[in-house]
Structure 1
């Protein structure tokens, strides 16, 4: 392969080839970086133009398993539906490149990114966006701006730009930014767990698995959220690299850019006569419609206004009138915010809508929370399992199968916004929102071998149901009595700007998201941020405005957290169905007695209390897990009773010695007798009496005292006779 461009960038080298492959595409780039090879192609349908007011862009990021020398797992040995990673990467590329397309561009456009070779340490999400942007830049579409990505990590307290995957695994920060040489377009950020790993030899008993296993125990310590000031400092450094990289790209790619043909654009002209008529005669009707905060109600009010005007102006085109009304409505929303500092629902710029929280409203679920904020409502349900319930997955850059034991699944049915649509498969948006909530909550929990699945059912939506999922998810964790090291909430921020003035909005509703210039979701504690996601509709944002938005979001989170703390104090657990886990310590010297000969004692505890038991033989740490608190507390009490019982000195038994014993268990062939130091001996049925005994229970009963004689030793077993 001949490479046309060689670029030395921060922590990697990128080689680009143009025009050698996929020559019938409008734009194609072959990118090689280290051992990774990616093909990105752009194709537009020049014969069709979509009339609706949206950009018909589709992005597909596709991984081939042969890229890492693997064959697809499972029954079908061919790649099938996209993995979560592929879908999320497609969303990242889409959100970064969509703002570049000129207004009125209506040709169906397909961006395809295929991974042909994957280096084990490669950041494929960064390379995917860079390759797609390069293909778009050199294509014959009239786009003359390069977009690139940079990832930032924090390893051992030091900032690392464009880290390897090995470095990222040891990082407490994962920050992904995309932008041009002038503007920041998108941010994805999450705070990662800082783990200190200590391997120990464990004795594990779980009735659901193998009876006795030796497995490693992992001790995990989780880091705090990232403070706003520190994050702003990191933004400054990453943005500087982002701008520098795009300048290099444009200089290198421009000589390879194709000629731009004349394309037809959508004629989306607003009828100004209609706009003037609506402004002069129907501003009050527009204001009434704006006060209908639910999307379905607002749409109905605007449609009724349109019908009302058409009756009077029967020669007007209804679609043109719809655009005119929409323009006036958008003007009113933005003008009221910028000039009066009041929002459509009467709130101030920083005011949070009313919040109600109800926990454990589902009796048979492990835990649940109904979180309602204004007209956004999420029913969040949590289910606990063990290690066998983890989600198995494979990725190109990992060796072998991985297990995910913390899952957040987000569902957005049509009825939540008043739409008559069926519930089908998981959409990209649902996957992305669930992933954002997962990134927000994962750093604050230490599951210690458990598996947790959180499902958010959106019952009503008018502004940031993903942030309602974060708040409801935290409450569901507490309603399941799961320990967290932080209390985390989420808030959606927005912005309206006319170039000279701007206003930052806290807790935006759907109307403000639709007519505003920024969608900025921030999650975290009162002290810092665990995750964030930002999309800019303006084309860029200054760091000063971003800093102001972050601190305004912090105030909003603090308000929400105070409400959540009050609700947390009122939680009543579903004790009848909630699995329970308890940790405690015993003296390591008595572990043998707790386990018993060949695991006999501990098996009896497991069967009696229906629990799983994990004992660390090194430091005496005991983990007991069961279906309910009653069984777990009973098992703990029993184990501590054995561990704390007065120690009886072992007797050195001799043949011929006689002792008083207790009948512990009767079997068909005799009885097991407990000797003074706790040792068991067998009194065979033939030794019970001088007379023939047909049935042991006819002669002896459990708990009965009798004198026995040591007859002989058979290995570790003692044979007894009646004295």
Structure 2
């Protein structure tokens, strides 16, 4: 395989992709360059599929200290546990690339992105997304769609695509959009507070303005993915023979459930509580199995459960699309009952017990001085940084009725904590002279505990008498459409 260097200049990025140069035994690999930044992305696949019905994809974004001409601090002089930025970037890459895999692809895949040279003006998340995308696209894995990422910011009154890190520090908007063609795959956004003559502004974005900006980002993504496909397609390796799992359904069993148990299923899913719906559906499954046994047919519990689940999804979709109601009888825009109690913990600076339906978050705020700030390092910065507003999210197993040991926070906990921080931080005083640690303990979960964290967090800040420019609330939404 001959080495290939491809240069692509699009959306204010000057990128170089070197193929067939490194990691030739991987399924796909690339050396990515932008400015002084150099990233290595490699993809590997296990040709033995797992039995479970999911894609076992693992993404690792890793920053090497030598990339910034640094020696790791501390007693152990080597990279160990990933930092929060590395974990959050891994999640972003995962969420962006996971939808590209074909349905029924159940083979373990690892995507590794290593930063081996840093640049203080390069957006490492965009660079990591593009490097991982290139390595996956040219690999021998049957993925034939390319994605592109665009970071949108502001410089003065102008909207800027892919601003430098210096420009991002002065921006009022931080919007990351990932997509393919004109289709949006992932969005992550926050506003950044600024201070002017009239005081501090949280810089809330108007809905229509946000739609326009996302449309601009989609145009930029379309231009980028078109360029990537044209450049990378001649380098794509021959795909491995990896049969896809078929989602087979016993049509006769499905018809039996549809014709004889439609009313039972609809009654079961109409229960408000998640646990009640599960219990009632198990009763329906038992009735179906007893009927099959009475007819002298084999009653396979796993098969009946799978077909019943498929029918249940059909009923729920029909209720939403045809009747404009949800499974529990609520309207599409109806919020579950909300209960709020503040300062219920007498020894804590500020607390709020926020309950929305069957989702409950106990959010606490602890106040400290500057020395209580969290110290951290970024590979694009020479000096250590201080985080004086921390949001820690905990999701114990008992919150969903699971008998599970509580261990160290995982990627999900870090991601949800970061989501809460991004929502709440613009409302805090830019000149706050101290540190704030917010902890969200999820006590019950059945519908967006991260948004409950934001709602409870805004109230806990007020309960702790922290001055904020606005109360912040979070709402999660989903999309159900006709067809696949």
TM-score (norm 2): 0.96
Report SS of the residue matched to 1:129. Answer: helix
Q: Write out aligned runs for 1:510-529 (5 A).
A: none
Report SS of the residue matched to 2:182. Answer: coil
Alignment partner of 1:481 out of 453, 456, 465: 465
1:122-171 CA distance string (max 9 Å, x none) = 10000101111111110111111101101000121211111110000010
Question: CA, structure 1 residues 82+294, in 2 after alignment: closer, same or farther (shift >3 Å)?
Answer: farther
Match of 1:632 in 2: none
Distance 2:15 2:286 in 1: 58
Distance 2:276 2:413 in 1: 24
1:51–1:266 CA contact under 8 A, matched in 2 = no
Distance 1:71 1:222 in 2: 40
Match of 1:125 in 2: 125
1:349-394 CA distance string (max 9 Å, x none) = 1111111100000010111000111111110011000001000000
Distance 1:19 1:296 in 2: 53
Distance 2:87 2:107 in 1: 23
Q: Are 1:176 and 2:176 counterparts? A: yes
Q: Are 1:339 and 2:322 counterparts? A: yes
2:182–2:218 CA contact under 8 A, matched in 1 = no
Alignment partner of 1:353 out of 336, 339, 352: 336
Question: CA, structure 1 residues 41+293, in 2 after alignment: closer, same or farther (shift >3 Å)?
Answer: farther
Report SS of the residue matched to 1:494. Answer: coil
Q: Which structure carries more relative contact order (alpha carbon 8 Å, separation 6+)?
A: 2
Q: Are 1:425 and 2:408 counterparts? A: yes
Q: Are 1:228 and 2:211 counterparts? A: no
Report SS of the residue matched to 1:496. Answer: coil
1:244-287 CA distance string (max 9 Å, x none) = 10000000000100011221222331111111111122223322
2:3–2:19 CA contact under 8 A, matched in 1 = no
Match of 1:399 in 2: 382
How far is 1:220 from its partner? 8.0
Listed as ranges, the gaps of 5+ residues in structure 1 are: 198-218, 500-537, 539-723
Match of 1:371 in 2: 354
Match of 2:238 in 1: 259
Report SS of the residue matched to 1:89. Answer: helix
How far is 1:304 from its partner? 3.5
1:11-56 CA distance string (max 9 Å, x none) = 221111111111111111111111011111111100x211212111
Q: Which has the larger radius of gyration?
A: 1
How far is 1:494 from its partner? 1.5
Distance 1:268 1:12 in 2: 41
2:459–2:471 CA contact under 8 A, matched in 1 = no
Match of 2:14 in 1: 13
Alignment partner of 2:474 out of 487, 490, 501: 490
Match of 1:620 in 2: none
Report SS of the residue matched to 1:380. Answer: strand
1:93-119 CA distance string (max 9 Å, x none) = 111111111111011111111111111
Listed as ranges, the gaps of 5+ residues in structure 2 are: none
1:538-563 CA distance string (max 9 Å, x none) = 7xxxxxxxxxxxxxxxxxxxxxxxxx
How far is 1:298 from its partner? 3.1
Q: Are 1:439 and 2:422 counterparts? A: yes
How far is 1:222 from its partner? 3.6
Match of 1:455 in 2: 439
1:368–1:380 CA contact under 8 A, matched in 2 = yes
Report SS of the residue matched to 1:16. Answer: strand
2:153–2:172 CA contact under 8 A, matched in 1 = yes
2:339–2:355 CA contact under 8 A, matched in 1 = yes
2:400–2:446 CA contact under 8 A, matched in 1 = yes
1:295–1:417 CA contact under 8 A, matched in 2 = no
1:3–1:15 CA contact under 8 A, matched in 2 = no
Distance 1:392 1:489 in 2: 28
2:10–2:223 CA contact under 8 A, matched in 1 = no
Q: Write out aligned runs for 1:141-152 (5 A).
A: 141-152=141-152
Report SS of the residue matched to 2:38. Answer: strand
Alignment partner of 1:465 out of 449, 452, 457: 449
* Equivalences, count: 478
Alignment partner of 2:399 out of 407, 410, 416: 416
How far is 1:3 from its partner? 4.6
Q: Are 1:250 and 2:258 counterparts? A: no
Match of 1:271 in 2: 250
TM-score (norm 1): 0.64
Q: Write out aligned runs for 1:26-105 (5 A).
A: 26-46=27-47, 48-105=48-105
* RMSD of aligned residue pairs (Cα, Å): 1.7
Distance 2:19 2:7 in 1: 12
Question: CA, structure 1 residues 115+52, in 2 after alignment: closer, same or farther (shift >3 Å)?
Answer: same
1:306–1:322 CA contact under 8 A, matched in 2 = yes
